[in-house]
Structure 1
Amino acid sequence: MPKNKYLFPLILVISLFFLWAFLHNINPILIPHLKKACQLSDTQSSFIDASVYLAYFVIAIPAGLFMHKYGYKRGIILGLILYAIGAILFVPAASERNYTFFLVALFVIASGATFLEAIANPYIAGLGDKDTSARRLNFAQSFNGVGSFIAPIIGGQVILSGIEHTPGELKKMSATGLASYLQSEANTVKIPYLIIAGGVIVLIILFLFTHIPEVKEDDSAVDAHTPGTDFSIKVLKHQHLSMAVLAQFFYVGAQVGVGSFFIRYAKYVAGTSEKNAAFMWGSIAMVGFMVGRFVGTFLMKYINPARLLSFYAAMNILLILVALNTKGDVALYSILAVPFFMSIMYPTIFALGIKGLGKETKIASSFLVMSIIGGGVAPLLMGLISDWTGSIQNAYIIPCVCFVMVLYFGLKGHKVTHHNTTG
């Protein structure tokens, strides 16, 4: 356990979990909002997720290299600076009502979040007994759940206007009236993102003046033929890590896909308005996600993390199969139940993936963070299916397939194999 003098630094690091949770969970609000404000198709609106997760893919390795050379604290500060700059860029993007500008702003925010996530996860995992790293990381990620349910609730209230014109009504508007309406929709993001930038700047100041202790990785778990300072792609020779990277790719694709199109899905299967759907996603699905983290952390005292992961993946496969084949409240609440069982997946896959890697933990963490490019791929496929078939419900086959891969990792792929190389 950390000494009392490290309590405040630990609290600051845990606060970072809120920031990237907010980024990811505001996207289900931004997708329908910018679809409306910028007049986009489902496929085009999926680029919001794509820009965020492309940043993770591109920046993860540089982030790992940076923290490997300069340490955790400087990596955190650089991440926070990028996050704040990206949030500020939302103001000119809204003024111009330029979708490409929005995507650039999101890319910059996500670049900052990549630094934060690549640092905070291994930091918390390494801050104590390695045998309880999965449980400790799930506990820290429970605070990530706070951002997960706050983002859609607040975003739904302050960003979504609740004004939903039909295509026919939009066609009847004059050019001036339509432009005024669309601009008013775009402008609603300005104040929220300026407030976000202000909060991040406060965190930057706090980190600048707080001592953040470095965590020393345990070298004893690395096999004799693994060069501890070999900071390269060779780390993927550890089969449990390479499988974790693949599982994380599919898991994040499922997580993002399920949430990103929920507002569209709710309207399609149950006729739910955008504001009500946003509130339901925050107050039911994301509260379930947060509660699931605490419940999962408790259950890991008694149940092997990989076994619990497998059970949760199987439950989500069943829930989505129901959601694909029903309508009304049954379909709606089947999707709303999915986040409870998603709750432990990311940190558990992460902890199982970096298990026993010693000095290679930092680069392994970067690959695991980079793998969440899946969050940009799955929604794009879902958007294409929706546009091709005219049914956003059909698109949910993609998350279902993704959870099958998570199930495989929990059953078999997580197992650590020892190398018998001869050097």
Structure 2
Amino acid sequence: MEKIGLVRTRDGKSFLVPFILITSLFFLWGVAHSILDVLNKHFQDTLEITRTRSALIQAVVYGGYFIMALPAGRIIRRFGYRTGVLTGLVLYGIGALLFIPGGRIQSFEFFLLALFVIGCGLTCLETASNPYVTVLGEPESSERRINLAQSFNGLGWICGPLAGGFFLFAGGGDVTTPYAVLGTVVLCIAILFSRVKLPEIGREAESEQAEASGKSLWRTTSFTVGLLSLFLYVAAQTGINSFFINYATENAGVSAQEASVWLSFGGMGLFMAGRMGGSWLMRFVKGEKVLAVCAAGACVCMAAVILMPGGAGWYFLLLCFLCESIMFPTIFSLSLRHAGTQTKQASSYLIMSIVGGAVAPLLMGLIADRISMAVGFIVPLICFMEIWGFAARYRKLS
């Protein structure tokens, strides 16, 4: 990590400590999201529900993003980043602990309620953490900074399916223990953050970024098109993750437990490596160019998944995790680049766009139930095509 430009400003001010603290949160919501992909298949088997109905798991979590994003933004603008983080951690912890009574009730609707509370907590965390990381240093290194922080989100995506697969598939279907542990850890971290003061640097940094643009937020094309691209990216990522195990068991002859391990170490391992490598690569190549190449690669992978179901499609499905790794942080950062003094407000809208994750699994589940699981991956293919267009035209949009 270089001293100037990543977490240090030109006047010598260092933001290393707040960067480390906030980066730890990226790991926590990576775990929360990735365990859903195992939970999806688990509920299909234990509660005997269809793939379309199991997609409600993602729908309620990502629906929480749509409902909570603007309130979270208001909390952060009025009370600061730390309050936003604390609100998110408390909601996250409570939602996870609700799985303890949920395990006894065994009601799919009750589990959905608990997941909705978790989703609202994750919304607060992401609304605070993503824009905060982009301003912890010089503006020109924001894409590198957020990709590095999001690498630890990738680590969480590795741990989630691994723990979930162990407890849900190898451990006799125990859905209570992983969430009980997770909720306890999250609430302990909330206590830690309540005793730490995070510097509020938004206004100074944002005023510097604002000099380059006097446009209103909704007339800033890079923001509005970026908003759509982020919506579609989260839709694609969530759809792929949700039905990864289904594709593996139905098309590649892999057991559910083995598929959860592949999702953890294979898919999410490539995902984390891609984010770390992307952070390094963006020292030399502009973020929008890296994004364009990755989006094109993802399109090729999805086409292979659809047209070559089986062994070949399975390998391309794994490879897609590498291609999509840098997309969320890069799109997020590029969308905020010209937001100026409206960065916090813009961040709320960008986080709201994560509701895309509620749409794709439902569409893919419907297609899978009526045609085939492989054909369902046409949904992320269309999403990646638009993202490639955003990256390829970014300089003109700016």
TM-score (normalised: structure 1): 0.88
Question: Superposition pairs for residues 221-300 of structure 1, below 5 Å?
Answer: 221-222=209-210, 226=214, 235-300=217-282
> Given the alignment of the two structures, is residue 18 of structure 1 paired with residue 6 of structure 2, yes or no?
no
The CA deviation at 1:236 is: 2.2
Question: Superposition pairs for residues 309-328 of structure 1, below 5 Å?
Answer: 309-328=291-310
Question: Superposition pairs for residues 1-400 of structure 1, below 5 Å?
Answer: 1-2=7-8, 7-161=16-170, 185=173, 188-216=174-202, 217-222=205-210, 226=214, 235-389=217-371, 391-400=372-381
The CA deviation at 1:299 is: 1.2
Read off the aligned partner of 2:388 and give its amino acid letter.
L
Read off the aligned partner of 1:321 and give its amino acid letter.
A
The CA deviation at 1:313 is: 0.4
For 1:376 and 1:353, locate their aligned partners in 2 and report how far apart those are by CA, in whole Å: 21
> Alpha carbons of 1:5 and 1:218: their partners in 2 closer, same or farther (altered >3 Å)?
closer
The CA deviation at 1:415 is: 4.4
Counterpart contact for 1:55–1:114, Cα < 8 Å: yes
Out of 398, 403, 409, the residue aligned to residue 384 of structure 2 is 403
For 2:14 and 2:353, locate their aligned partners in 1 and report how far apart those are by CA, in whole Å: 35
Read off the aligned partner of 1:412 and give its amino acid letter.
R
Find the counterpart in structure 2 of residue 231 from structure 1: none
Percent pairwise identity: 39
The CA deviation at 1:222 is: 2.6
For 2:338 and 2:213, locate their aligned partners in 1 and report how far apart those are by CA, in whole Å: 14
For 1:221 and 1:298, locate their aligned partners in 2 and report how far apart those are by CA, in whole Å: 23
Q: Which moved more, 1:234-243 or 1:3-12?
A: 3-12
Unaligned runs of 5+ in 1: 163-183, 228-233, 418-423
Counterpart contact for 2:270–2:322, Cα < 8 Å: yes
Counterpart contact for 1:219–1:357, Cα < 8 Å: no
SS in 1 for 2:210: coil
User: What do residues 319-377 of structure 1 show as CA deviations (whole Å, max 9, x unaligned)?
Assistant: 11111111332111110111111110000000000013222000101111110111110
Counterpart contact for 2:206–2:343, Cα < 8 Å: no
For 1:5 and 1:320, locate their aligned partners in 2 and report how far apart those are by CA, in whole Å: 42
For 1:330 and 1:416, locate their aligned partners in 2 and report how far apart those are by CA, in whole Å: 37
TM-score (normalised: structure 2): 0.93
For 2:296 and 2:272, locate their aligned partners in 1 and report how far apart those are by CA, in whole Å: 19
Counterpart contact for 2:288–2:394, Cα < 8 Å: no
The CA deviation at 1:273 is: 0.4
Read off the aligned partner of 1:381 and give its amino acid letter.
L
What RMSD over aligned residues (CA atoms) do the two structures have, in Å? 1.8
Q: Which moved more, 1:10-19 or 1:119-128?
A: 10-19
For 1:351 and 1:7, locate their aligned partners in 2 and report how far apart those are by CA, in whole Å: 19
Counterpart contact for 1:247–1:406, Cα < 8 Å: yes
Counterpart contact for 1:159–1:189, Cα < 8 Å: yes
The CA deviation at 1:409 is: 0.7
The CA deviation at 1:4 is: 9.6
Read off the aligned partner of 1:210 and give its amino acid letter.
V
Structure showing greater radius of gyration is: 1
The CA deviation at 1:288 is: 0.2
Unaligned runs of 5+ in 2: 1-6
- Between the two proteins, the alignment pairs up a number of residues equal to 387
SS in 2 for 1:40: coil
Counterpart contact for 1:53–1:375, Cα < 8 Å: yes
SS in 2 for 1:218: helix
Find the counterpart in structure 2 of residue 230 from structure 1: none
For 2:23 and 2:51, locate their aligned partners in 1 and report how far apart those are by CA, in whole Å: 35
SS in 2 for 1:327: coil
The CA deviation at 1:383 is: 0.4
> Alpha carbons of 1:260 and 1:198: their partners in 2 closer, same or farther (altered >3 Å)?
same
Find the counterpart in structure 2 of residue 171 from structure 1: none
Counterpart contact for 1:243–1:414, Cα < 8 Å: no
User: What do residues 5-51 of structure 1 show as CA deviations (whole Å, max 9, x unaligned)?
Assistant: 85443322111101111111111101000111211101000001101
SS in 1 for 2:48: coil
For 2:309 and 2:351, locate their aligned partners in 1 and report how far apart those are by CA, in whole Å: 36
